[in-house]
């Protein structure tokens, strides 16, 4: 599903070496935490997967496609296979919850009937059916993130990438979000989540890939945030 083969990235503008010889394999349906200190290279990995940047060397395979060889023009089609959730939610303030989610379907030209069917479905998955016609400024932080998750999965992508999805949320709300992401994973979506949330990583007992100084320093099933839990 996601494969990094000898991936290195040197940022051209400042010569900083963000990743060196990263190898990792994430299978279909897996749930993987990506942990490590700030500046370790987590964001670089996510940017590479979204093809915001290209690696200096190495191969990245996503859903059997070598995305390092995909032309810029085709990038949007690659991104349709990945749902993304960010720490800062990134909702459109002038659209309702319903419209924010429908927007992701309109962009790819979905049938209005399909939109009317899918949007309420994902809204109920994230437990926001009652807030469909609210605007983002009427929502709490947790609700924001739930809308963002609903938007990320509405087109049924095989992979969900979450970049610090609980970073701006209080612990209780963070757990609600984790429960939703866990549910999404249970339905078969591969999840890659970059996080600093030690408690969450430690109690979820999922695969943990730790990055430090641009290298994979640890990769264990049912791992924990640090060596000493």
Partner 1 sequence: MSMKLRIFKNILKQGFQGSWRNRGMGLASIGSITAVLVILGMVLIIILSINNIVVETKNKFDEIQIYLEDDIESEKMKEIEDKLKSSEGVTDVYFESKDEALEIMKKDWGEESYLLEGLEENPLPNSYIVKLKDIEYADNVVSKLEGIDGIEEIKYYKDVIEKLLAAANYIKVGGIIIIAILMFVSVFIISNTIKITVTARKREINIMKYVGATNGYIRGPFVIEGIILGLIGAGLSILIVNYGYEYLFKVISEKLYVIFTVYLVAPHALLKDIIIMFMAIGVGIGTLGSLISLKKFLNA
Q: Which residues bind partner 1 (CB under 8 A)?
A: 50, 73, 76-80, 84, 90, 92, 103-104, 106-112, 151, 155
- Closest separation between CB of residue 108 and partner 1, Å? 6
Q: Are 190 and 26 in contact (CB under 8 A)?
A: yes
Residues 79 and 89: their CA atoms lie apart, in Å, by 17
Token couple for 55 = 């690696």
Any idea how long the chain is? 229
Question: Could you tell me which residues are beta bridge partners of residue 82?
Answer: 159
- Closest separation between CB of residue 119 and partner 1, Å? 14
**Nearest CB to partner 1, comparing residues 66 and 106:** 106
- Closest separation between CB of residue 162 and partner 1, Å? 13
**Nearest CB to partner 1, comparing residues 55 and 136:** 136
User: SS3 helix, strand, coil % of the chain, rounded to 5?
Assistant: 40, 25, 35
**Nearest CB to partner 1, comparing residues 113 and 222:** 113
Q: Are 144 and 95 in contact (CB under 8 A)?
A: no
**Nearest CB to partner 1, comparing residues 112 and 130:** 112
**Nearest CB to partner 1, comparing residues 135 and 175:** 135
Question: Could you tell me which residues are beta bridge partners of residue 163?
Answer: 194
Q: Are 57 and 35 in contact (CB under 8 A)?
A: no
Residues 146 and 142: their CA atoms lie apart, in Å, by 6
């Amino acid at each position: 599903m996601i494969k990094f083969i000898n991936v290195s990235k040197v940022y051209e503008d400042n010569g900083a070496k963000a990743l060196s010889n990263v190898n990792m394999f994430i299978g279909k349906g897996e749930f993987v935490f990506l942990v490590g200190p700030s500046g370790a290279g987590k964001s670089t990995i996510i940017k590479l997967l979204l093809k915001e940047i290209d690696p200096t060397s190495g191969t990245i395979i996503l859903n059997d496609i070598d995305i390092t060889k995909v032309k810029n023009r085709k990038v949007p089609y690659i991104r349709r296979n990945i749902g993304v959730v960010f720490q800062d939610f990134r909702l459109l303030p002038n659209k309702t919850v319903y419209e924010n989610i429908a927007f992701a379907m309109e962009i790819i030209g979905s049938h209005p009937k399909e939109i009317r069917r899918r949007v309420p479905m994902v809204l109920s998955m994230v437990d926001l059916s009652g807030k469909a016609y609210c605007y983002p400024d009427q929502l709490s932080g947790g609700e924001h993130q739930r809308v963002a998750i609903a938007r990320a999965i509405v087109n049924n992508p095989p992979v969900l990438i979450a970049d610090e999805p609980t970073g701006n949320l209080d612990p209780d709300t963070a757990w609600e979000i984790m429960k939703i992401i866990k549910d999404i994973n249970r339905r078969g979506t591969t999840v890659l989540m970059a996080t600093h949330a030690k408690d969450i990583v430690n109690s979820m007992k999922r695969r943990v890939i730790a990055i430090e100084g641009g290298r994979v320093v640890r990769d264990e099933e049912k791992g924990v945030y640090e060596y000493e839990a």
